[in-house]
A and B are shown apart, each in its own frame.
Chain A
Amino acid sequence: NAGVTQTPKFRVLKTGQSMTLLCAQDMNHEYMYWYRQDPGMGLRLIHYSVGEGTTAKGEVPDGYNVSRLKKQNFLLGLESAAPSQTSVYFCASSYMLGGSETQYFGPGTRLLVL
């Protein structure tokens, strides 16, 4: 049981390049989330999904797109990377949304946009 995994662990992009971050979970969780974490800003929700085929915007969705084609995978795309997207990206999953449900986080992807 690997929990939540993220690929890649680290990436350097040039401004304008695109990339996709992959999140996978093997806990059969319905809900998945993408966060970014910046110094002094805490964790901010980018997008989330309440089930296969569904996605919704979070607090800071601009510049990102997501897809949930399979229940176990949640992809985060950057179509045209900007230096402001330099951050640590965490994926998380939970069995239920909100309520008393806890979230399980992946190890993070460190992205540097030059």
Chain B
Amino acid sequence: RKEVEQDPGPFNVPEGATVAFNCTYSNSASQSFFWYRQDCRKEPKLLMSVYSSGNEDGRFTAQLNRASQYISLLIRDSKLSDSATYLCVVNRRDDKIIFGKGTRLHILP
């Protein structure tokens, strides 16, 4: 089993819809969690950190469920510009950083 797993997609979602991704991790020593966004042929960029209490940034909401070992990303009122690959990233207590393979999102006009 991969340490960090994501549904590769693609998720084809009409503009304005709400879409949610999950990411599961297997190492209970995982300490901190992030969502990165990667546009086609570009570098990954931090979208948001994921806190135990959950956090929201505009149309984006991230949540962490330590008991079930998954994090989620919710995008409301999706825009064409949200089309990208979303990478789940887990930092372990031994300082190892594990990237998921990413979930591709296509927002359809």
User: B43, A90: Cβ atoms under 8 Å?
Assistant: yes
Instruction: Please measure, in the bound complex, the distance between the C-alpha atom of A28 and the C-alpha atom of B88, giving whole angstroms.
Output: 26
Query: Which residues from B are CB-within-8-Å of A41?
Result: 101
> Which residues of chain B in 67-109 are interfacial with respect to chain A, using CB atoms and an 8 Å cutoff?
87, 91-97, 99-102
A87 to chain B, nearest CB (A): 13
Question: Is A99 a contact of B95 with CB atoms below 8 Å?
Answer: yes
A41 to B8: give the CA distance in the assembly, Å: 11
Tell whether, in the assembled complex, residue B92 and residue A98 are in contact, meaning their CB atoms are under 8 Å apart.
yes
A97 vs B32: C-alpha distance in the bound complex, in angstroms?
Answer: 12
- Taking a contact as CB atoms under 8 Å apart, the answer to whether A105 and B43 are in contact is yes
Q: Which residues of A contact B45 (CB under 8 A)?
A: 105
Answer whether residue B26 sits at the interface, using C-beta atoms and an 8 A cutoff: no
Q: A99-B31, A99-B91, A100-B32 are in contact. Are A108 and B97 (CB under 8 A)?
A: no
Q: Are B31 and A98 in contact (CB under 8 A)?
A: yes
User: B41 to chain A: which residues have CB within 8 Å?
Assistant: 108
Whether a CB of chain A sits under 8 angstroms from the CB of B1 is no
CB-CB contacts below 8 Å: B40-67 with A: 41-46, 49
Q: B88's closest neighbor in chain A, by CB?
A: A42
Flag whether A113 is at the interface (Cβ < 8 A).
no
Whether A106 contacts B91 by the Cβ 8 Å rule is no
In the assembled complex, B25 has its CB within 8 A of some CB on chain A: no
Q: How far is the CB of B45 from chain A (nearest CB, A)?
A: 7
| Contact yes or no, B95 A102, CB < 8 A | no
Q: Count chain B CB atoms within 10 A of each CB in A42, A45, A98 and give the residue with the most.
A: A42
Closest to B96 in A: A98
Could you name 19 residue pairs across A and B whose Cβ atoms are closer than 8 Å?
A33-B97, A40-B8, A40-B101, A41-B101, A43-B99, A90-B43, A98-B32, A98-B92, A98-B96, A99-B31, A100-B31, A102-B34, A103-B44, A103-B46, A105-B43, A105-B45, A107-B42, A107-B43, A108-B43
**12 extra A-B contacts, CB within 8 A, seeds A98-B97, A103-B44:** A33-B97, A42-B99, A97-B95, A98-B93, A98-B95, A100-B31, A100-B49, A101-B91, A105-B43, A107-B43, A108-B42, A108-B43
